[in-house]
Structure 1
Amino acid sequence: MKIVQLLHEHKGNINRLRLNGISRMSKHHLDIIMSLMSNGNPQVEEARSELFYNHRAREVLNTNDERPIDVDACPLCTNVRLVFDCTRDDCMKVKDSFPRCRGCYFCVTRCEKCGGCISSEDRAEADLVCSDFMCLDCWLTLPKCSTCNRPYCERHENLMVPLSMPGQFSCHRCMELGVSLESQEDGY
């Protein structure tokens, strides 16, 4: 806050400010920074552009993001964080009303592949080998483990263990379980 105020007082021109990761930032701080940056700068006064989630969000935000300020107050928890919009068509059509799926990473579960919101029912049905989440539509398109029928997200597909049959794989959990079962059977 003090740096932005000091630059503003000394006629410093701030076009972009990256605040993600700064702790204890409040909506009040964000409002003050926005007012200082928008003073005479029409680019900041324009409506905020949408931000869609993907697992590379942090990389993209550090390089190609043209938004003046990268964070916003989450409409669900009111914390100042990266706030993502939904990529689902039916959610995007609800622009006039308050979209329930616009929120930070902690408030709205997002699909690793498409960035859309995931309901709790879909989250239970679309179980992955890795700890990431995926919507049911994207989950159905991925190849599954031959043993447990769970896929990896694209970010973790390097953990697939190919089997002797082409196009089939086993996940690392099933391989570890298979190895531990074999060692237990050998002990009998």
Structure 2
Amino acid sequence: MRTEEKEEEEEEEQWPSSRSAHEVLLIVLPYLHSLHELLSMSTVSRSLRDAIRDETALWTKIVVELPLSSRLTDDVLWEITSKSAGKLNTLILRQCLRITDKGLRRVVDANPLIRKIIVPGCTELTPEGIIGCVESLSKNNHNIETLHINGVHRFTKDHLSALSTYLPQEGAIDVEVCPKCDQVMMIPSCSRASCKRGRRHERKCRGCWFCVLRCRECAVCLGSDTEIQEAACGGDSLCLECWLVLPKCRFCNKPYCSSHSSLRHDVVTADPSAQPTFECQACHYRAGTNPYDAFDYQI
């Protein structure tokens, strides 16, 4: 069985300039975006892995997103955040479907310096659990700067009112009461120039995604005077400006918005100089047929 010293010697033989390379990589580490990037970097070598593991500053901001989101559990989250030695200040968990109130609260109680909690799409969390975490962090005059909870279900106006007492900074939370349906939702800001001129709370297009038809790409409201284009996402709409610049399916000529671009089926060609093309899911699943016979095209 090989010893660690022998493995390190083999590393130095394979990489003569490993010391200088590692010095450069250590400079890069603080600029890594997500946990996935940090873990990937730790596989480069044993010495770099140890440096990442032992450097507390690298673990004060935890960002978990795809492809790790679906695998993150309460126990794994605790193990990762423990590396910050209680100095965690930013916790970003995107669509982590297995994280519960208990797991989040455990991390919050051990890290009283947290200022940003961003948990969009974490459907196992509850309003009561979120309020408990924010209340715990607000002790000793500690304020939460950012709280993003879009996608956490069953939030009501009473829950939002309770949170507002712990969030003195305006705009700290990403949801509010929709003036049209009276539900707690995310209300995007419209980028249309005419809508920007009026006061924020008086804009006619002010409403959630369900109440106001919007371009899925830029969130501009799509009124009767707007040319609306269909996206390949299934029911999503785009403004003409966004539709023109997005890449389109080679058969039905419909684009995916940026948030659904992962649904594209890229087409591999033998010509390296050819422009990259893709098929949308609807066209791709019609394998064995002529896709051109299945659609009426509108250019």
Aligned to 2:265: 159
Query: Percent of aligned pairs with the same residue?
Result: 30
Measure how far apart 1:79 and its partner are: 0.9
Q: Secondary structure at the match of 2:289?
A: helix
Aligned to 1:23: 153
The amino acid that maps onto 2:158 is: H
- TM-score, normalised to structure 1, is 0.60
Alignment of 1:84-163 (within 5 A): 84-95=188-199, 98-119=202-223, 125-131=228-234, 132-154=236-258, 155-156=260-261, 158-161=264-267
Aligned to 1:74: 178
Whole-angstrom CA distance in 1 between matches of 2:268 and 2:188? 35
Report how many residues are paired. Answer: 155
The amino acid that maps onto 2:155 is: M
Mean Cα displacement is larger for which, 129-138 or 75-84? 129-138
Aligned to 1:180: 289
Q: Using a 3 Å threshold, how does the CA distance of structure 1 residues 177 and 120 change in structure 2: closer, same or farther? A: farther
Q: Secondary structure at the match of 2:182?
A: coil
Aligned to 1:171: 279
Between structure 1 and structure 2, the one with the greater Rg is 2
Larger RCO (alpha carbons 8 Å, 6+ apart): 1
Whole-angstrom CA distance in 2 between matches of 1:72 and 1:32? 13
* Consecutive aligned runs of 4 or more in structure 1 exceeding 4 Å deviation: 4-12, 120-123, 162-165
The amino acid that maps onto 2:275 is: G
Measure how far apart 1:18 and its partner are: 4.2
The amino acid that maps onto 1:159 is: H
- Select 2:163's aligned residue among 33, 52, 56: 33
- 5+ long unaligned stretches in structure 2: 1-127, 292-299
- Deviation track 1:126-150 (CA, whole Å, cap 9, x = no partner) reads 1222224321221122343343222
- 5+ long unaligned stretches in structure 1: 49-66, 183-188
Whole-angstrom CA distance in 2 between matches of 1:139 and 1:8? 44
